[in-house]
């Protein structure tokens, strides 16, 4: 019984790692990600600050919807 649970957990973790790898490969090809209105970008002579607050809010909403849909099953 323990071996089955361990194997199932390892398969789920492996699928998760593959999914994250695909996301990291595709994320650069999304043109608007990180450049939405409301993203803070301050650039001075020797200083640069960037905080994608709008992108974070949009991603949070999308991930919340995805997790909500999966929790219904």
- Do 25 and 48 belong together in one domain? no
For residues 49 and 63, state if they share a domain.
Answer: yes
Rg of the chain over all Cα atoms, to the nearest angstrom: 18
Residues 26 and 40 in one domain: no
Domain range for 64 is 36-73
More confident position, 27 or 10: 10
Asked if 67 and 41 sit in the same domain, the reply is yes
Quick: pLDDT tens for 13-22. Answer: 999 899 988 8
**pTM for the model:** 0.58
Q: How far is CA 22 from the centre of its chain?
A: 11
CB half-sphere exposure, 61, CA atoms < 13 A: 5
**51 strand-pairing partners:** 40
Locate 8 and state its tokens: 């199932």
Residues 40 and 10 in one domain: no
Look at residue 9 and tell me whether its pLDDT is greater than 70. Answer: yes
Total structural domains within the chain = 2
Strand ranges in 1-73 using DSSP code E only, listed in sequence order: 40-43, 48-51
Band (pLDDT 50/70/90 cuts) for residue 1 is low
Same domain, residue pair 25 and 41: no
């Amino acid at each position: 019984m323990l071996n089955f649970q361990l194997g199932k957990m390892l398969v789920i973790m492996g699928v998760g790692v593959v999914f994250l790898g695909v996301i990291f490969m595709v994320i650069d090809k999304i043109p608007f990600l990180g450049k939405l209105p409301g993203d803070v970008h301050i650039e001075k002579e020797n200083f640069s600050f960037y905080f994608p607050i709008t992108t974070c809010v949009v991603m949070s909403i999308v991930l919340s919807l995805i997790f909500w849909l999966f929790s219904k099953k």
